[in-house]
Amino acid sequence: MDFLLAMTLPAGWQIGVVLALLVVAVVLFANENIPVDLSTLILLLVLIGSGVLTAREAFAGFSSDIIIMLASIFILSGALQETGVLDVLGARMLKVATGSENRLLIVLTSVISGLSAFMNNTVVTAMFVGPVMGLAQRAKISPSKLLIPMAYASILGGTCTLIGTSTNIAVSNFIAGQNLRPLGLFEITPVGLILVTVGIAYLLLVARRILPANPEESLTEDFAIRSYLSEIVVMPSSQLIGQKVFQSDLAKLDFRVLKIVRGNQTLTPHSDTAIALGDVLLVTGNMENLIKVKTTEGIEIKADLRLGDQDLQSDDLKVAEALVTPQSALVGRTLREANFQQEQGLVVLAIYRRGRSLREQIGSIKLKVGDLLLVQGHKDRLQSIKRSRELAVLQELGSGVLRPKKGYYVAGFFLAALLLGGFEIVPVSLAFLGAAIATLLCRCVPVERTYQFIDWRLLILIGGMTAFGTAMVKTGAAELLASGIVSLLEPFGVMAILAGFVILTIILTQPMSNAAAALVVLPVALHTARVLGANERTFAIGIMLGASVSLITPFEPSCILVYGPGKYSFRDFVKTGAPLTAILTVIVLLLLPVFWPLHGPAKRMNNGDPATNQVEAVTSPVPIGGAVTNGP
């Protein structure tokens, strides 16, 4: 404690520290060279070490009931997916969504936005990418006509409820810490429904016409791996004889053995498979390297090889595309580091990343969210991977479910939580915690699986950035920035200042996550509202909705997930999302004063207790720099 007191900085220096850390946070979150959760914890350590915050203040955000509620929602959403309820819903939806392209788009976007109003939009998008591609193939429509609309619908669905997106929960958590009443479960629903309706109309009338119709190709053509497939014969003098496939000289040279023809048998390689004399191996890798080792390894290369998808598959052996999801432990690791082939029983033939296929040295490539892997393996392994959260296998939704009865229990608990929390019979956080506990008590999913459902990185981001906002308020950094913004935009009125904050949030969501961008802007915006005597709640909700209607670039996780499967270019997202973002921003600014009066009293919690519904009005503006500034 004496050490920390000795390091306490003067107030002016503390403001400088906080503003410097704000810049550092934006850079770290944009580059993601350091994981966002680790970056957040580093920022907290600096705030504590410099004396800006006490340890209690820094970690207060993690003890919020909102964090418990968000973790509970992750558990419930994961249980719905694990038990197969969402598979049933998706399969039925896809049966209805037949006929014209317009009907298909209406059904698809309506169902997706409805689901994402109550679930994480990234989970919903990852689950439906494969089925939608299959549906597009049956309907003879290019998947690129459907996948961006699906991603946008999932994002806009999050504007309908408090639990629709982590950004909403993060904002509610922050304003509760500022002694303002937290958001109600359905408080933003009317505005959210309007945004979803306008968004779907735009997707039908405009986006459908400007989105590309990228042609479907075979997987070997799509990933351009034909030239990397070779068939070799193991000769009597070969050093490969007796070597295990995964530890062989070929594996060390980054060649992957896809299948082995031994006499009349066709074998699928596994960890114990050894190479034998006369084996014919189908391998993928750089042909030039293979020619170089031809003599030393004692192999013969078959000439004039013409291989396609059918040559890589059999009754049990299948080839599929698998999408790296944000929850995957593979993110930031190489296939070699993850011991992928041995652990998962799948061979990665190529990686497709934002418009280009990566085929060489793929074992050394650090994987990113949205990477599309062309994998080969036993059909049972693909089915088990499909049920995990590591990869989203782009195949049709199955008609069977693992635990249908248990799944209906989970759905019932989820619905009960919505009703109890929505009608304020019990606090929202308590309602969802109770539903999560009931799910575990009924053994709907194994307890150990629930820890995999929770996005711990997001919880750390929200808890840590909430503390960062507290530091901005405590040191006066928020006041300093607010005074600059007020002096610049005050002549144009309070509405112009609010619009400036919304647009700033939209800009910041391009390099940063939506939740992080909102939490960076929020402290300054709330202080500005107090200075102007405006309604702080209106400013908070404006920033929150601004973060959710930002669709300009494909950096939102839902958009990243459809980037590869849709074979989109960066330009496709900009030309489709920028006009929609502009339209929705105008609608948000028009609706905000209607539902949350711009000059109404700020509703605060008595004694800062978020558990009570009693509020008190604060109407007097806050002086800044010795002067009182009243809003026009």
Map out the domains of the chain as residue ranges: 219-307
Domain 219-307 is found in CATH 3.30.70.1450: yes
Do residues 439 and 76 make contact, with C-beta atoms less than 8 angstroms apart?
Answer: yes
User: Which of the pair, 72 or 64, is modelled with greater confidence?
Assistant: 72
In the chain, % of residues over pLDDT 90: 22
Is the pLDDT reported for residue 141 higher than 80? yes
Q: What pLDDT is attached to residue 295?
A: 59
Identify the burial level of 263 via C-beta atoms within 10 angstroms of its C-beta, where 0-12 means exposed, 13-18 middle and 19 or more buried: exposed
Q: Which pair of structure tokens corresponds to residue 451?
A: 């820890």
Helices (H) and strands (E) in the chain, counts: 28, 12
For 269-371, list the strands marked E by DSSP.
280-284, 299-301, 317-324, 346-353, 356-358
Return the H-helix or E-strand segment holding 137. Answer: helix 121-138
Categorize the per-residue pLDDT at 389 as very low, low, confident or very high, splitting at 50, 70 and 90. low
The CA distance from 500 to 503, in Å, is: 5
Is the pLDDT reported for residue 199 higher than 90? yes
Integer-rounded Cα Rg, in Å, for the chain is 27
In terms of DSSP H, where are the helices of 373-455?
379-386, 404-422, 428-441, 447-453
Do residues 497 and 481 make contact, with C-beta atoms less than 8 angstroms apart?
Answer: no
In terms of DSSP H, where are the helices of 298-378?
340-344
Please name the residue that has the structure tokens 């074979």. 567
Mean per-residue pLDDT, 450-470 = 84
CA 234 to each of CA 261, 275, 284, 347: distance values in angstroms, whole numbers, following the listed order: 11, 8, 16, 21
**In degrees, to the nearest 5, what angle opens at C-alpha 368 toward C-alphas 342 and 168?**
125
The CA distance from 542 to 113, in Å, is: 20
Is the pLDDT reported for residue 396 higher than 60? no
The CA distance from 478 to 201, in Å, is: 39
Mean pLDDT of the chain: 79
Query: Could you tell me the pTM of the whole model?
Result: 0.74
Identify the burial level of 245 via C-beta atoms within 10 angstroms of its C-beta, where 0-12 means exposed, 13-18 middle and 19 or more buried: buried
Do residues 375 and 312 make contact, with C-beta atoms less than 8 angstroms apart?
Answer: no
**In degrees, to the nearest 5, what angle opens at C-alpha 511 toward C-alphas 463 and 508?**
75
Is the pLDDT reported for residue 616 higher than 60? no
The CA distance from 345 to 380, in Å, is: 10
Q: Please give the backbone phi and psi of residue 265, each rounded to the nearest 5 degrees, phi first.
A: -105, 145
Name the least confident of 339-348, 401-410, 548-557.
Answer: 401-410
Q: What pLDDT is attached to residue 35?
A: 79
One-letter amino acid for residue 265 of the chain: Q
